[in-house]
Structure 1
């Protein structure tokens, strides 16, 4: 690294920094908080260090990746390290973190290695430093291979020396043990809905690693497929929990690996569900075009096998993508398709991973589609008025639900944002405060971030309203901090 006299000011980083509205001290605090969250306890940044970065100093990992994640979340789009004028120690090729071999043995090896690194480096280092978010063709094109038929030669691992229809050396796993593994994944999902992604993520990753160990033993094909299904389920949940606490590259990698495992399990509906989670992440990162591509891929791949509930969920997410693209008519059509398809739902026949998608969740998705249309249309009061009654139904549906507490908090914030669009700051403050009460019971950075953003908007637009001022005071005291470990 050259001396100070050799450096030129980093105009790219300075541009992003100025537009963010952060002070040097605030950026330093956020970097330190994110580093603690990811286990990089050696990172200790202050305002003078931030000043040196702006003056052209190249920070070492994990700082470039942390800055990339922070600015991506601030602006709602992927901000690569290179766009910040920084160098990363690891420069993956386009799609390098998601363009993986579609074969059973490699899938097991990759999941085993990644989950082990997550468990170890989550305590001692920084897993995300070697990851980059993929978007656009670098993400979509590898995912399209999910639809390409493959030989079942990857099942089981290693291949038994017998016929594929259940022959070969018997598995040492009993039916009772297999059922226990499957029910464990369901239990973890319930905990995630109730407590958020920050509380049990490591337990899920640990269980995932154990299942990949089992997959490296000899099994008949039916047993191997069930193990792959459990692996896909757990990897998808690890990805979702990582997304919930703000670990975006880690979340994407787990979801990609989960899709590979679902393919090996031959479970198209589960694969469609995993693609829907990837789509949600792209909507969060302001990549609605990518989100729509992923949803259409999910719909096409599961068109003959997904339940009505799963199809309704996919239509609802399709509407969210169209809303964020400003395509009003297509959004309305997708909302109607979601509502019509949901009338055919048979919850008793649904797989456990779609059990979250009840009537309240349907209302929530459609209300957020209308709310997003309002933002895209320049804070349109007409679309806000469409969102309001549907969001109220969602909040009412979750109000007595002791399991889906995170969803309750998210929809309280959603209702608050609708009130802001309707220029009703007192009501917005009321529902944001309710969300803060629930957030204290839920370890979800996604919930906390939405509360902060809604409060910031309220203060910006209605800072002289007493209820908003009280909300801002409470926010500074009570909003839960990001967990230091994941």
Structure 2
């Protein structure tokens, strides 16, 4: 009898699996759920199949991509297929989802097709195995072309001639103003209700606007429609990020940046890059976040309002904090404060109005809080974070619009009290956050509440207030299987 080659256990997959805290049955259930979202109804995983993967069996697509998505979401960082010790049947080229043509007609077509796919398939929360998160050079290098000047007079060439040879269609000033006002309304809804409630409405509106952009318009009208498109695509990306659809969020934000370039709107482009930076911080890639912020700052250095510049400095501080660069973090915090002092509401576009004084304090508080974690739960930085977080929570307490920000900062206050070894206070603020979170459909808020509660239970599981918090969480905000 010939010798047989035995499979070796997949040490990488085993490591991620053990750290996740999932059972084999729970992982199988999540894989099956995600496969149904994808439309891969042939996938039917069970405990024994998971065991075979851990023992070294190489699953077929779409399983490797699904596992990558699940572990990325679990740990809040990009977990590539290769890091799981798995082989993907299809590895897209570097920058494949990012390195797109910087030309108006292609941008419109890509947004139109992507939003249509999202409307058709996104209700299942997954757009397909071809969509993957990009990071590092694959993300950053293609975005550098945002800085390349648009050729003067290029916009008429981006607008197709009348298809029937007739007169160009016209949008009235009133219709354009209504489109712009609708985008502002959607942003207010997102702040108040979270990304899960109105995301599909935003995607639908985006799709309609790209339909309009495929009709002939004057250069001025086309440029305005591109600006509306960029704003809507940016919001669709942000809301996708809020509900945990990370690759979808990144794709919308990249397309939004392309539309902003066509609109000739550098400040809006900088804002879109700041959203991408926030996502990279969330995914534990502060180096990428910093590069995106510097790209935004350079691109909009002569055109962004003081409020926008202050927001960029505040995010720069967050990136430096997560990199452990203390002095640079402090300097960026001071720059954010000094620049915000020059803010003038009349100079601000609608998309930056969320960045008020409470939000400035919130960003600075989170920078110091993140420094505390990087420095090994340093009480020094926690004490710096506390007064800033108090101002943020107080500032949002009476704000009926920015409810998600209120919830996030209540959780942030909870984390600061945990760093200060004050579990009763941590439980108090996190409990309040649950009350607000139940009014907001934001998986990002819910995930932070769960993470903070689990940390409190791990470190202070004998404190009655912490036990009651964990009990309430399990009843009122259980971990849900489906994303909106």
**8 Å CA contact retained: 1:398, 1:408:** yes
- SS in structure 1 of the partner of residue 482 of structure 2: coil
Q: 1:164 matched to which residue of 2?
A: none
Distance 1:154 1:235 in 2: 20
Matched, 1:99 2:99: yes
Q: 1:165 matched to which residue of 2?
A: none
Matched length: 477
Distance 2:356 2:34 in 1: 34
Distance 1:39 1:459 in 2: 38
The alpha-carbon deviation at position 14 of structure 1 amounts to: 1.4
- SS in structure 2 of the partner of residue 133 of structure 1: coil
**8 Å CA contact retained: 1:147, 1:301:** yes
Matched, 1:392 2:393: no
Distance 1:204 1:180 in 2: 14
For 1:111-190, what aligned pairs fall within 5 Å after superposition?
111-123=111-123, 126-151=126-151, 152-155=153-156, 157-159=158-160, 170-190=168-188
For 1:20-59, what aligned pairs fall within 5 Å after superposition?
20-32=20-32, 34=34, 45-59=45-59
Indicate which of 298, 301, 313 corresponds to 1:300.
298
For 1:244-255, what aligned pairs fall within 5 Å after superposition?
244-255=242-253
Q: 2:420 matched to which residue of 1?
A: 422
The alpha-carbon deviation at position 475 of structure 1 amounts to: 1.2
Distance 1:239 1:373 in 2: 28
Distance 2:216 2:256 in 1: 21
**8 Å CA contact retained: 1:169, 1:220:** no
Gaps of 5+ in 2: none
For 1:190-205, what aligned pairs fall within 5 Å after superposition?
190-205=188-203
For 1:252-271, what aligned pairs fall within 5 Å after superposition?
252-271=250-269
The alpha-carbon deviation at position 447 of structure 1 amounts to: 0.5
Indicate which of 355, 367, 387 corresponds to 2:365.
367
Q: CA RMSD in A?
A: 2.2
More displaced 10-residue stretch of structure 1: 289-298 or 346-355 = 346-355
Classify 1:139/1:190 alpha carbon distance in 2 versus 1 (closer, same or farther; 3 Å).
same
Distance 1:36 1:379 in 2: 41
Distance 1:182 1:97 in 2: 28
Indicate which of 400, 407, 411 corresponds to 2:405.
407
More displaced 10-residue stretch of structure 1: 101-110 or 113-122 = 113-122
More displaced 10-residue stretch of structure 1: 68-77 or 384-393 = 68-77
Q: 2:210 matched to which residue of 1?
A: 212
**8 Å CA contact retained: 2:125, 2:483:** no
- SS in structure 1 of the partner of residue 372 of structure 2: helix
More displaced 10-residue stretch of structure 1: 44-53 or 96-105 = 44-53
Report Cα offsets for 1:131-184 as digits up to 9, x if no partner: 1111111111111110011324354543559xxxxxx96542111111111111
Q: 2:356 matched to which residue of 1?
A: 358
Distance 1:228 1:34 in 2: 34
Q: 1:81 matched to which residue of 2?
A: 81
**8 Å CA contact retained: 2:244, 2:483:** no
Classify 1:89/1:250 alpha carbon distance in 2 versus 1 (closer, same or farther; 3 Å).
farther
Gaps of 5+ in 1: 162-167
